[in-house]
Amino acid sequence: MSKARFPWWPVAVWESRRTFLRGDFLFWTFFGPVLIVAAMVVAGWFRARSEKQIVRIAVVFTEPRTPFTALPPLKGFEWVTPAAAQADTASLLRSVRERTVAGAVVIGPDFADSGRAALIVYRQSPSWKEKLNDHLKQVARRERAARLGMGEQELAQVDADVTLVERLADPRRHVPGGTRLAAVMVVVLLVMTLFITNSYMAIGISGEKQGRVTEVIISAVRPQDWIDGKIVAYSGVAIVQAGVWGLTLLGVMTLTSWLRPPVVSVPTLAVLALCGVLGAVLYISLWALVLATVKDMMSTTKFQAYLVFMPMVPLIVLEPLLDNPDAGWVMIMSLIPFFAPMLVPARLALNAIAPWEVALALLLLAAGAWFLRVAAGHAMRIGMLMYGKELSLGELWKWARTE
């Protein structure tokens, strides 16, 4: 590649090599997904193991006895009937304290009417409490039904679930499950990799400013070429990391679904990929602008530092968007470049965005990335050499207009 035609290329190569050869980058890029998957497997193993454990519960019926003398069996639980001398409250508290039983249930004669029972536990709100509570609800419900002369068959009819069968008024609104999954993966991977990439950018640019090596660099390379090289390099870092993580997660999901990968159409996949790539370039250009206008992210008092959290803002409106993705305000927000990388995939996953909206959103996203790239070049030229004073965005705008 000609250096004269692409003067930013040596900067991009140098910056990419510096990041790609970092031990922590290599570790988290290639072993991070493996660790996440391993953690999920271990968590699943512990959950399966805990589900196999038997929870021993002491059950005491107070006098006069309730119409039933024992609780129906419940998978994962063992009912223990204490001796009469050990059925008082003090003895039950001691048994739970000494871990002889996991808990104790005291059922009074008005249990079926009031639906209330006393529960003694070792720690507050144990994990098995909800399951036990649902079981006792069913016991009380059956007892009330028996008083009304209802048998098990009649009670089952009363408790029958209602199933709503969807039928789309417009079959074209059907969204394959693979599209939804791909959209979620693009948004999650974009947000995760952006914050990781930003940390490398902050270390690199802040180190150059504090090491006072910028004067030498700017004397040999145009500020715009210098910042272009950084944007290209760190965009590549984000895309490579997102790609490795995405392929790893896709491989895991494919293997766990009997080698049947989710189906995503080529146009949809292309749109999602463009959203991810352009979104990465946009935010990296924004952060390059921010880092060029402040001394460092830790000591600055300017509001530019809070722009680092800009990718999280669109996630705030995801819930109302899911409720009404066709609303006018949603359409407008999805066209805003800072929101488009997250909202366009979300609306695409709901099949609630027109093709012209997708095209316009991508066009505005590319234009926004180009504008921030130029602004970052101005900031590099003006602000990187201002060691005694941080450059404000107002000053940057003033200097840019005088060009």
> What CATH number does the domain containing 77 carry?
3.40.190.10
Does residue 61 carry a pLDDT above 60? yes
Q: Is the pTM of this model over 0.85?
A: no
Does residue 116 carry a pLDDT above 70? yes
Residue 2 or residue 270, greater confidence: 270
The pLDDT of residue 369 is 93
Structural domain contains residue 307: yes
Domain termination site, one of 158, 193, 227: 158
Structural domain contains residue 221: yes
Once rounded to an integer, what is the mean pLDDT over residues 159-163?
78
Once rounded to an integer, what is the mean pLDDT over residues 286-305?
68
At residue 180, what is the residue type? R
Report residue 310's pLDDT band, with 50, 70 and 90 as the boundaries: confident
- What order of strands is seen across the sheet that includes strand 118-121? 77-80, 55-61, 103-107, 118-121
Does residue 298 carry a pLDDT above 70? no
Report residue 288's pLDDT band, with 50, 70 and 90 as the boundaries: confident
Structural domain contains residue 353: yes
Give the count of domains, the chain: 2
385 and 251, same structural domain? Answer: yes
Range of the domain at 318: 175-401
Measured between alpha carbons, how far is residue 74 from residues 77, 79, 161, 309 in Å? 6, 9, 21, 48
The pLDDT of residue 14 is 81
Share of the chain above pLDDT 90, in %: 18
357 and 238, same structural domain? Answer: yes
Highest mean pLDDT among 40-54, 92-106, 237-251: 92-106
The pLDDT of residue 183 is 83
Structural domain contains residue 260: yes
Measured between alpha carbons, how far is residue 127 from residues 124, 136, 196 in Å? 9, 16, 35
233 and 196, same structural domain? Answer: yes
Does residue 346 carry a pLDDT above 60? yes
Which tokens go with 165? 């069968």
Q: Which of 98, 78, 86 is nearest to 60 (CA)?
A: 86
Once rounded to an integer, what is the mean pLDDT over residues 218-244?
83
Report residue 97's pLDDT band, with 50, 70 and 90 as the boundaries: very high
130 and 222, same structural domain? Answer: no
At residue 246, what is the residue type? G
Q: What is the pLDDT of residues 183-198, one digit of tens each?
A: 888 888 888 888 888 8
Structural domain contains residue 41: no
135 and 279, same structural domain? Answer: no
Does residue 367 carry a pLDDT above 90? yes
229 and 355, same structural domain? Answer: yes
Does residue 227 carry a pLDDT above 80? yes
Report residue 8's pLDDT band, with 50, 70 and 90 as the boundaries: confident
| Angle, vertex CA 308, rays to CA 304 and CA 314, nearest 5 | 115
265 and 126, same structural domain? Answer: no
Residue 298 or residue 71, greater confidence: 71
133 and 194, same structural domain? Answer: no
Domain termination site, one of 130, 158, 186: 158
Structural domain contains residue 113: yes
Residue 170 burial (C-beta neighbours within 10 Å; 0-12, 13-18, 19+):
exposed
Share of the chain above pLDDT 70, in %: 82
Please say whether the beta carbons of 221 and 3 come within 8 A.
Answer: no
Domain termination site, one of 158, 193, 215: 158
110 and 188, same structural domain? Answer: no
357 and 235, same structural domain? Answer: yes
